[in-house]
C-alpha cells in the first residue's frame, strides 16, 4: 500500500500534491491533495486497481465526462479526471464538512425537519441529473456530503461506468459495494439491463428510511442475502420504528420503496414538490428556512374574477416550492420586481426590447409612488444573473430565483415573440409568496418595423391590472408617465448599461451621451452618466450634468429625484445633504444600492459608522446589488472597528474571506480585526500567508504596512516594528525593474517612514517630488518627512506650496488641505492640524481610518481634546 501511495504521488506530481488518504470505499480511495495550478485543496478519487484494469481508460473517460456536464447547487462538481501510470482518477472540490454516513454514525436517526431538508437537496440534485438523462445508480449516505446546512451528491457517472464494464453481480460477489446492496433497487439486484432513473428513487427511499429510523429498510449478513431481500422482502413501515414520523412522510418513503418501478414515484420532479410541501408548516413539519407566515398574511392582493383574461399559453406557475431551502431571504409582500423580458423572436437585433419593456414598466410603477419597486439597475442585474444561472442549469424557476435575488414578493415577467410581421408581448404577474400566478395580461402587438409601439400601452395595462388587484391609487398616475424613448435611443442606453453593470464605467459613458442625443426626452441616460462621472471622481463633469438634468426633474420618479439630489450634493461636497437624499432613496427601495451609498457616505464622509452598519446589514452580501461587491465588506469591517465592535468585525472579515477567497485585502481585514483583539500569533500567521501569495503588484507589501500601522495605533510597538520590518523586506525583495517604478519608490518610502527611518525615506521621496513637481502625494510626503527630521523651514515651505493648489474638482479634492493638516500635526501644531482637517473634509476629503499610514503623523496631537472630538464617531 505504501508503494502504491508513492507511485500515485509520482504519477500526479505535475498536477497535484497528494497529501494523505482521507477516505476509502468499495470503488475508490480518496486523497486530500493540493491543486498546483489553481492553488486550492481538492479531493482526488482513485479507482481500485482491479476496477481500473477491468474498466479501461476509454470507457472511464466516456462515462465520467457525464459528471463534468452536471452543474447544480446540490451536485458536487467535477474539476478534472484522467489516467496516469495506470491510475484512473477524478478530482472534486474538497468540502469542509462530513458525509451523511459520518453523521448517521455519530447521531443515528436525525431530527425529522433535518432529514426532510437533506432529502429535498438530494432529490433536487437528482431532478437535474435525470433531466439530462443521467442515472446515479449508487445513492447512499456515503455519496452525500454535508456542508453549511446543504447536501451535495457526489460520484455521478462512476457506478454506471464500472457496472457496464465489469458486471454488477460479479463485483458484488467480490465485496465491491457497487450499487451498495442495502440501497439497491430490485431491478439492480437482479442485474436488469433496463434500469432507469426510478432505481435512484428507490435508493432515496432507503436513505430516507435510514435517516428517520437509524436503520436500513432491509438487512442481511452477506451481500447476497441483501440482494435477495431487495427482491423478495417488504420493509416494515417507517412508523414501526419511529411513531413520530408524520403520516405523509411515512407514505412518501414507502412509496419510494415499492418493488415495482411503476408503483414508485415516477420521477424526482414528481417527488420534489412532495418534500417541499412537507418542509412547510402546512405539511406538518417545522419549517427550515421557509418564509414567515405573517408575511404571507400581509398580502393585500385581491384577485378580481374576470378582470383580466388569462392567456391560454401561460399556465399557473407554482413557485413557492422552488425557493431554495435555508434561504435567508424574507420576501416582502409590497415589493415588486419587473424582470427583463425574454426575447423569443430569434432575432438578436430586437434584444434591447426586453430591458426596454422592463425598464418602462418599472418607471411607471415608480412614478405611481404607491408601490415599493425594485430599481431598474438592480432588476436588470438580477435578471442577468438569473439568466446566466439558468443557462448553467442552476435555476429551475426563473421567477422564484428573481424573487430570492431581490426579496420581491411579486414578480412581473414577460416575453415577446415574432408573429408574422408583428411582435407580440405577453406579461404575467406572479405572487411568489402565495406560490401562484395572479394573471396573464392580454397580449400587446406591435408592427415588426416599430416593435416599441407596444411598450407604452403595455405599461398602462400592467398599471391598470395592479390598480384593480392591488391599490386603486396606481391607475390615475399611469397617464402622467412620459412616452418611452425611441428604440434607437434605448438600444444605445442598453449598451451603456451593459458596460456599467460590468463596472466598465469609462466605456459606458459614450453610450449614455449617445442615447440622450438620439432622444432628448429620454433623461434616464443622464442619471447614469452622472453616476459614471461620480464613480470616476470627475466632479466637474458630474456637476455640469446635474445642472442639465435639473431642467427635466419632473420626468424622473421620486426615487430618481432623490438620486439626483444626492449626486448634486455630492458634486458640491455637501455630504450632509447627500446623506439626507440617499436615505430617502433607500427608504423607497430597501435592498437597493441606495442603502449601500448611504453607508458609504455615512462612514467615509461623515464619520457615522453606526448608521453605516445599519445600512449595510439591511443588504445581503451574497445577493442582488451586493453580489461580488467587495467594498461592502471593506466598509462593514471598518465601521465595526470604528465602533469598537471588534468581534463583529472579525466575523464580517471572515465572511469576506469565505465569499471572496484569500487575497491580500481579505487577509488584511481579518488581520486588522484580530489585531484589535490582541491575537498576535494569528495576525503573524496571516502576515505569513499574505507574503506567500503570488505577487499581485505592490499590494502585499502595502497591506503588511497597513497592519503594522494599526499595531502601532493600538500601542503594540514591538508587533508594529516586527510587522513593518516584514513589509520593508517584502519591498526590498522585488526585482530591479519593479524598484525603478514610481509606485514602488513611493510605497517603499512610506514603509521607511512607518519604520521611523525618516532620513532613508527622505532620500527616496525627494527625487520623486522633483520628477513630479505638481503631484501633492510626493511633495506632501517630503513635507511630512521634513517635519519629522526637524527641518521646519522646508516643511512650512511645502505647506505654502500646497495652499496654492486647486483640487476642488479633481479626484484628489481636499488632498492638498489634508496634507497641510498632516504636516501641521507632525510639527505639533494641533490647532492648525484640526482646523485644516475640518477644511479638507468640507472640500471632499475622505475620512481616515487609524490604519492609514499617514495617520501616524497625528501621534503628536493624539491627546489634544479638539482632535479627539474630531475623530469621535458621530452616529
- Residue 694 C-alpha cell reads as 503570488
Q: Name every residue whose Cβ is closer than 8 Å to that of residue 357 and which is 6 or more positions away in sequence.
A: 341, 414, 416, 425, 455, 458
Which of 795, 793, 735, 786 is closest to 761 using CA atoms?
786
**Which of 35, 138, 431, 519 does the annotation list as catalytic?**
138
On whether the CB atoms of residues 89 and 12 are closer than 8 A, the answer is: yes
**Is CATH 3.30.930 the classification given to domain 491-556?**
no
Q: Cell numbers for 607, please give them.
A: 464619520
- Return all residues near 574 (Cβ < 8 A) that are at least 6 apart: none
What residue ranges do the domains of the chain occupy? 2-93, 98-283, 296-484, 491-556, 653-871
pLDDT at position 14, please? 87
Ranges of the chain with pLDDT below 70: 1-2, 26, 63, 66-67, 148-149, 157-179, 279-329, 369-370, 467-483, 807-812
Distance CA 157, CA 484 (A): 52
The span from the CA of 794 to the CA of 791, in Å, is 6
Q: Quick one: how many helices (H) and strands (E) in the chain?
A: 41, 15
Please report the pLDDT score of residue 816 as a whole number: 92
Residue-wise over 644-670: b if at least 16 C-beta within 10 A, else e?
ebbebbbebbbbbbeebebbbbbbbbb
Beta partners for 777? Answer: none
Task: Round to whole Å and give the CA distance between 844 and 818.
Answer: 10
Closest CA to 474 of 482, 483, 462: 462
The CB-based long-range contact list for 733-741 (8 Å cut-off, 24+ gap) reads: none
Q: Minimal CA–CA distance to 367: which of 475, 257, 521?
A: 475
* 138 in active site: yes
d(CA 636, CA 422): 51
d(CA 359, CA 459): 10
Q: Which top CATH class is 2-93?
A: alpha beta
For residue 694, the model assigns a pLDDT of 87
DSSP three-state, residue 855: helix
Q: pTM for the full model?
A: 0.60
The 10s digit of each residue's pLDDT in 6-26 is: 888 888 888 889 888 887 776
Supply angle C-alpha 763, 768, 770, rounded to 5.
Answer: 105
The span from the CA of 198 to the CA of 268, in Å, is 8
Q: Which helix (H) or strand (E) holds 346?
A: none
CB-CB contact of 356 with 494 (8 Å) = yes
The CATH code of the domain at 296-484 is: 3.40.50.10610
- Among all chains, which residue has been given the C-alpha cell 411503476? 262
Torsion angle, alpha carbons of 484, 489, 494, 500, to 10: -110
pLDDT (0 to 100) of residue 527: 87
* Residue in 717, 668, 746 with CA at minimum distance from that of residue 856: 717
CATH architecture of 653-871: Alpha Horseshoe (1.25)
Residue 817 is predicted with a pLDDT of 93
2-93 shares its CATH topology with 653-871 = no
Q: How far apart are CA 727 and CA 721, in angstroms?
A: 10
Phi, psi for 333 (deg, rounded to 5): -60, -25
Q: Give me the half-sphere count of Cα atoms (radius 13 Å) on the Cβ side of residue 109.
A: 16
The C-alpha atoms of residue 353 and residue 415 are separated, in whole angstroms, by 10
What would the grid cell of residue 258 be? Answer: 415499492
pLDDT on residue 753: 96
**DSSP string of 574-614?**
-HHHHHHHHHHHHHHSTTSHHHHHHHHHHHHTT--HHHHHH
Q: Does CATH number 2.60.40.10 belong to domain 98-283? A: no
How far apart are the two ends of the chain, measured CA to CA in Å? 65
Amino acid at each position: 500500500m505504501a508503494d502504491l501511495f508513492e507511485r500515485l504521488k509520482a504519477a500526479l506530481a505535475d498536477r497535484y500534491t497528494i497529501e494523505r488518504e482521507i477516505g476509502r470505499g468499495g470503488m475508490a480511495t480518496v486523497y486530500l491533495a493540493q491543486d498546483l495550478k489553481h492553488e486550492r485543496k481538492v479531493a482526488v478519487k482513485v479507482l481500485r486497481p482491479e476496477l481500473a484494469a477491468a474498466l479501461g481508460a476509454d470507457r472511464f473517460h466516456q462515462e465520467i465526462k457525464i459528471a463534468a456536464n452536471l452543474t447544480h447547487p446540490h451536485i458536487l462538481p467535477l474539476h478534472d479526471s484522467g489516467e496516469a501510470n495506470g491510475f484512473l482518477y477524478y478530482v472534486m472540490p474538497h468540502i469542509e464538512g462530513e458525509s451523511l454516513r459520518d453523521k448517521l454514525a455519530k447521531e443515528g436517526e436525525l431530527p425529522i425537519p433535518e432529514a426532510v431538508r437533506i432529502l429535498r437537496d438530494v432529490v433536487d440534485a437528482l431532478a437535474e441529473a435525470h433531466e439530462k438523462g443521467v442515472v446515479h445508480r449508487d445513492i447512499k449516505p456515503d455519496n452525500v456530503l454535508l456542508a453549511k446546512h446543504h447536501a451535495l451528491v457526489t460520484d455521478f457517472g462512476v457506478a454506471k461506468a464500472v457496472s457496464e464494464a465489469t458486471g454488477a453481480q460479479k463485483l458484488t460477489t467480490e465485496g465491491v459495494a457497487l450499487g451498495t446492496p442495502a440501497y439497491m433497487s430490485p431491478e439492480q439486484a437482479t442485474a436488469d439491463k433496463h434500469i432507469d432513473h426510478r432505481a435512484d428513487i428507490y435508493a432515496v427511499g432507503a436513505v430516507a428510511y435510514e435517516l428517520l429510523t437509524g436503520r436500513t429498510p432491509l438487512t442481511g449478513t452477506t451481500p447476497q442475502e441483501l440482494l435477495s431481500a431487495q427482491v423478495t422482502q417488504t420493509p416494515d413501515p417507517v412508523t414501526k420504528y419511529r411513531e413520530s414520523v408524520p403520516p405523509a412522510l411515512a407514505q412518501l418513503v414507502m412509496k419510494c420503496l415499492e418493488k415495482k418501478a411503476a408503483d414508485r414515484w415516477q420521477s424526482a420532479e414528481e417527488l420534489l414538490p412532495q418534500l417541499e410541501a412537507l418542509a412547510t408548516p402546512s405539511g406538518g413539519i417545522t419549517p427550515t428556512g421557509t418564509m414567515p407566515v405573517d408575511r404571507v398574511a400581509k398580502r393585500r392582493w385581491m384577485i378580481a374574477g374576470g378582470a383580466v383574461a388569462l392567456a391560454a399559453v401561460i399556465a399557473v406557475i407554482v413557485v413557492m416550492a422552488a425557493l431554495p431551502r435555508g434561504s435567508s431571504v424574507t420576501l416582502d409582500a409590497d415589493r415588486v420586481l419587473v424582470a427583463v423580458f425574454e426575447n423569443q423572436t430569434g432575432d438578436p437585433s430586437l434584444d434591447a426590447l426586453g430591458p426596454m419593456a422592463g425598464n418602462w414598466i418599472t418607471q411607471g410603477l415608480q412614478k405611481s409612488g404607491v408601490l415599493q419597486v425594485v430599481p431598474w439597475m438592480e432588476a436588470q442585474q438580477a435578471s442577468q444573473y438569473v439568466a446566466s444561472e439558468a443557462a448553467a442549469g442552476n435555476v429551475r424557476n426563473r421567477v422564484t430565483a428573481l424573487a430570492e435575488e431581490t426579496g420581491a414578493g411579486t414578480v412581473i415577467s414577460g416575453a415577446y415573440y415574432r408573429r408574422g410581421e408583428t411582435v407580440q408581448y405577453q406579461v404575467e404577474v406572479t405572487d411568489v409568496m402565495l406560490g401562484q400566478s395572479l394573471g396573464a395580461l392580454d397580449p400587446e402587438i406591435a408592427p415588426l418595423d416599430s416593435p416599441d409601439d407596444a411598450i407604452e400601452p403595455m405599461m398602462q395595462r400592467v398599471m391598470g391590472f395592479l390598480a384593480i388587484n392591488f391599490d386603486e391609487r396606481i391607475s390615475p398616475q399611469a397617464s402622467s408617465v412620459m412616452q418611452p424613448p425611441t428604440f434607437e435611443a434605448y438600444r444605445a442606453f442598453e449598451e451603456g448599461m451593459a458596460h456599467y453593470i460590468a463596472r466598465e464605467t469609462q466605456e459606458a459613458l459614450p453610450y449614455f451621451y449617445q442615447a440622450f442625443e438620439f432622444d432628448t426626452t429620454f433623461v434616464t441616460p443622464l442619471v447614469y452618466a452622472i453616476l459614471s462621472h461620480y464613480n470616476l471622481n470627475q466632479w466637474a463633469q458630474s456637476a455640469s450634468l446635474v445642472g442639465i438634468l435639473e431642467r427635466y426633474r419632473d420626468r424622473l420618479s421620486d426615487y430618481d429625484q432623490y438620486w439626483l439630489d444626492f449626486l448634486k450634493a455630492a458634486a458640491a461636497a455637501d455630504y450632509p445633504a447627500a446623506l439626507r437624499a440617499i436615505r430617502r432613496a433607500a427608504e423607497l427601495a430597501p435592498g437597493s444600492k441606495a442603502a449601500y451609498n448611504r453607508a458609504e457616505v455615512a462612514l467615509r464622509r461623515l464619520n457615522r459608522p453606526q448608521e453605516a452598519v445599519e445600512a449595510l446589514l439591511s443588504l445581503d452580501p451574497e445577493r442582488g446589488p451586493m453580489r461580488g461587491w467587495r467594498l461592502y465588506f471593506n466598509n462593514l469591517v471598518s465601521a465595526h472597528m470604528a465602533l469598537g465592535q471588534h468581534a463583529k468585525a472579525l466575523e464580517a472579515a471572515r465572511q469576506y474571506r469565505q465569499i471572496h477567497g484569500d487575497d491580500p485585502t481579505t487577509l488584511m481585514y481579518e488581520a486588522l480585526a484580530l489585531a484589535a483583539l490582541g491575537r498576535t500569533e494569528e495576525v503573524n500567521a496571516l502576515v505569513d500567508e499574505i507574503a506567500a501569495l503570488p505577487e499581485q503588484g505592490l499590494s502585499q507589501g502595502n497591506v503588511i504596512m497597513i497592519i503594522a500601522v494599526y499595531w502601532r495605533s493600538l500601542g503594540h510597538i514591538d508587533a508594529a516594528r516586527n510587522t513593518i520590518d516584514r513589509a520593508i523586506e517584502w519591498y526590498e525583495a522585488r526585482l530591479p525593474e519593479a524598484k525603478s517604478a514610481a509606485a514602488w519608490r513611493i510605497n517603499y518610502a512610506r514603509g521607511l517612514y512607518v519604520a521611523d527611518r525618516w532620513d532613508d525615506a527622505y532620500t527616496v521621496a525627494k527625487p520623486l517630488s522633483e520628477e513630479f513637481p505638481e503631484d501633492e502625494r510626493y511633495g506632501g510626503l517630503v513635507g511630512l518627512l521634513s517635519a519629522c527630521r526637524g527641518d521646519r523651514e522646508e516643511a512650512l515651505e511645502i505647506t505654502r506650496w500646497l495652499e496654492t493648489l486647486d483640487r476642488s474638482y479633481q479626484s484628489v479634492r481636499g488632498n492638498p488641505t489634508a496634507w497641510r493638516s498632516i504636516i501641521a500635526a507632525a510639527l505639533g501644531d494641533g490647532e492648525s492640524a484640526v482646523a485644516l482637517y475640518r477644511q479638507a473634509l468640507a472640500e471632499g476629503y475622505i475620512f481616515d481610518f487609524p490604519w492609514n499610514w499617514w495617520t501616524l503623523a497625528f501621534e503628536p496631537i493624539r491627546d489634544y481634546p479638539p482632535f479627539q472630538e474630531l475623530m469621535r464617531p458621530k452616529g
